[in-house]
Amino acid sequence: MTAAAPEPKANMGQPVPRYDAVAKVTGRATYGADMPLDNPAYAFLVTSAIAKGRINSFDLDDAKRVRGVIDIVTHENAPKLKESKLFSNGGYAGTTIQPLKSAEIAHDGQIIAVVIAESYEAAREAANRVKVSYSAATPSASFDSPGTTKAAAKGQNAQFKEDPKVGDFAKAFDEAEVKVEASYETPTQHHNPMELFSTSCAWMGDTLVIYEPSQYVYGLKNGVAEQLGIDADKVRVVNPYVGGGFGSRGSMTPRTAIIAGIAKRLNRPIKLVPTRDQGFTIATYRAETRHEIKLGASRDGKLVALRHEGAEMSSRADPYCVGGTKTTTRLYACSNVDSLVSIVRADRNTPGFMRSPPEVPYLFALESAMDELAVKLNMDPVELRRVNDTTNEPIGGKPYTSRSLMACFDEAAKAFGWAQRSVAPRSMSDGDWLIGYGCAATCYPTQMAPSAARVRLQRDGRTRVEIAGHEIGTGAYTVIAQTASERLGVPLEKVSVFMGDSDLPPAPVAGGSNSTASTCSAVMMVCDQIRQRLFKAVMPNESLTDKAKETVGIGQTPANQAARSDRPLDLEKAFDALGVGVVEEYGEWKPEGAPLDSFKAMHSGHARLVGGSAMKDKIAYAFGAEFVEVRVNRFTHEIRCPRLVGAFAAGRIMNPRTARSQLMGGLIWGMSSALLEATEIDQRTARYVNDNLADYLVPVNADVPDVEVILLSEQDDHINPVGAKGLGELANVGTNAAICNAVFHATGQRIRRLPVRLENIEV
């Protein structure tokens, strides 16, 4: 075992290497734009240079003269497409702003023309030569711009169901012995996955194949079919690998149907590879948020009143919101809670999911305020969390299925050396650097969605698993292969997994950290169907009770077979009895509490996620605790984070290697989101200014010298058959608060607005 492959503790799988590791490091893994096409034409986008107004006219003469140009598509000659509703209101789209429909411009960087040419270079050159005449209007850019509108989220966004409240907040806060009232702010951020937002479309007769990085092939297939007005069975989406998603590829963007429509008209495959800066405006992003927190506590630190008000930016067209109060009102014991989420509209593209969409901004506010409360109480912030730890969430009184928050705090504190902290701010230093320690809690809802799978077992043990899941870099191939191998009792190297293809059995969106729990539960169930068939063949007179299924031997490791079964099953004998060479099973799994229409929705590309705080009689979250060391230079005020330690508990850890890698990446992103990442908006023009990876900073290796991930053993039998809680979005939550708490410890200065930059420090 190594640091990268930690020793499994109880209820953890083996840290086997990634299923796709060799393909990726040797370049054999094919991403969307790598897919070979027969005689493709190349598309290059022209995007708007204004955020609001209309196009008067195009001058295309110069562009059309570029050798190799085939066509230039604008709103005047674009294929007619049907509308799709916003995903949160029952549709597939990440935005309802449909470009190329009219001369109207709704946001910066909106697609206004598509140049099609014989080569990428010709398409790009011609796009550069397109001249546009606009009538520009003055746009509203963000919160403080004139012309924005603000309204409660409840009632506009079907996914935002309630503003949680309980007890009498006003009275309790009024009477509280110790109070914290503070405002917090988080910036606009963009996912910037390494793989660009490419789309290739190829028609074979009336059948369309789309190669595109997608976190939801069934959603994209159905959404594009709806926009084109064709049967969904005529659309296939293929993407065996996705070069990073982070939520940006969870819902359909307008580009896909546009390219499909043009390919149809030209009767030729088309490949589009947009530029990095176009990715800032043709897809989604994390919108800026503002928060007002009020905490009231007794002298001994017990919370008596908590209020969280959040405001989020969205586009004029769409009521997108993340509504993180569903989490922040339930994290700690408190009998008087109030909350409100509002949506503010401006002339922007519609925001969307970005890794831990609700928790990143909302826990920043709450976990910063908790630290402020600890300071006011003169209490160790870890102890403040302990005093307010709870087994039941306060809004509905539902029990947490499992909750290892304090165990995480204790493990991480020990590994970090929290006890060595000198409590007073500005009391630790090293040469030019002031040193600060900070910590914060993290949590993420445990979610599941219906999923299908097909598994084929051959008599020699070779196994093929088919599921339209998504490998977005998380290790999905690996844990699915492990699940089939363990359940069928076949060696891992005999298992092949096929994913990222909408011709395979449907799986949910790779979002909300539900993939492992959902896909592995489905695969496990289908493997059990195979076991049942084999079992029946050799023991036709036995009844198929769960007990018998467990003792039949197949699906147990050799050690367990001996221990748990007096009649282990011989695979060859079972196949002989059955009289076949191959056993294949298909099955559809749904989580407890899934709505009635779940399976229908699963096939039509609507993921019905259940879990988290939305369950009837329980609440399920994964938890963690993060500790950081921050150094602030006395002279330059530069802020660095030389050390990050996180401890996490998330039910069964399917593979400690891939889990650690996910959590490590999360910790780094959490730090990045606190110190570096912000999309700058020109307030006059509502345009993104630093829309490239030179100006939109993310950490380099020198920024993260030391990251430690601790995996805690946790068993939870109340969530899903696999017993796993999603952890992909767990570690980048709370890190931002831990950093600001550490900056306070280093400098005595409380930063409530991200990112923390050197000009915000007044040492």
Partner 1 sequence: MRPFSFQRATDPDMALQALSAAAAANDPLTQATAQPLAGGTTLIDLMKLDVMRPAAILDINPLALSWSAIEPGAETLRLGALAKMSDVAAHDEIQRNYPVIANSLKLAASAQLRNMATLGGNVMQRTRCSYFRDVSYENCNKRNPGSGCAAMDGVNRMHAVLGTSDQCIATYPGDFAQALIALDATVEVTGKSGTRSMPFAELHKAPGNTPEIETTLQPGELISAFLISGRWPRSVYLKARDRQSYEFALSSAAVALDVQDGTIRDARVALGGVATVPWRAREAEAQLKGQKFDDGLAQRAADAAFADARGRRHNSFKIALGKRVVVRALQQAVTMEI
Residues found near partner 1 in the complex (CB under 8 A): 47, 49, 121, 124-125, 128, 277, 432, 633, 635-638, 640, 675-676, 680-682, 684-685, 689-691, 694-695, 697, 699-703, 757-759
Nearer to partner 1, 601 or 678 (CB): 678
Q: How far is CA 632 from the centre of its chain?
A: 31
**Least distance to partner 1 from the beta carbon of 294, Å?**
31
CA-to-CA distance for 52 and 29, rounded, in angstroms? Answer: 41
**Least distance to partner 1 from the beta carbon of 4, Å?**
23
**Least distance to partner 1 from the beta carbon of 689, Å?**
4
**Least distance to partner 1 from the beta carbon of 683, Å?**
8
- DSSP letters along 153-171, please? STTT-TT------BS-HHH
Nearer to partner 1, 114 or 370 (CB): 114
Q: How far is CA 250 from the centre of its chain?
A: 8
CA-to-CA distance for 407 and 32, rounded, in angstroms? Answer: 42
Cβ-based neighbours of 443, under 8 Å, separated by 6 or more:
327, 331, 359, 363, 405, 621, 622, 623, 624, 730, 733, 734
**Least distance to partner 1 from the beta carbon of 492, Å?**
37
Conformational region of residue 524, where left means phi above 0, alpha means psi within -120 to 50, and beta covers everything else: alpha
Q: Are 538 and 583 in contact (CB under 8 A)?
A: no
Q: Are 684 and 504 in contact (CB under 8 A)?
A: no
Nearer to partner 1, 596 or 702 (CB): 702
- Asked about 175 being catalytic, the answer comes back as no
**Least distance to partner 1 from the beta carbon of 701, Å?**
8
**Least distance to partner 1 from the beta carbon of 65, Å?**
12
Q: Are 624 and 443 in contact (CB under 8 A)?
A: yes
Nearer to partner 1, 419 or 702 (CB): 702
- The 10 Å CB-count burial string (b at 16+, else e) for 353-376 is bbbbbbbbbbbbbbbbbbbbbbbe
- DSSP letters along 474-498, please? S-HHHHHHHHHHHHHT--GGGEEEE
Choose, from 195, 411, 471, 729, the residue flagged as catalytic: 729
Nearest by Cα to 332 from 370, 300, 377 = 370
- Helices marked H in 305-358 — which ranges? 325-328
- Helices marked H in 44-160 — which ranges? 61-64, 120-128
- 190, two tokens: 């963009």
Nearer to partner 1, 441 or 674 (CB): 674
Strand partners, 753: 185
Nearer to partner 1, 48 or 328 (CB): 48
Tell me the residue type at 737.
A
CA-to-CA distance for 63 and 267, rounded, in angstroms? Answer: 22
Cα-only R_g, the chain:
27
**Least distance to partner 1 from the beta carbon of 756, Å?**
10
Nearer to partner 1, 11 or 119 (CB): 119
- 374, two tokens: 């600890």
Tell me the residue type at 387.
V
**Least distance to partner 1 from the beta carbon of 273, Å?**
13
Q: Are 415 and 645 in contact (CB under 8 A)?
A: yes
Nearer to partner 1, 545 or 701 (CB): 701
CA-to-CA distance for 746 and 740, rounded, in angstroms? Answer: 10
Residues assigned a catalytic role? 729
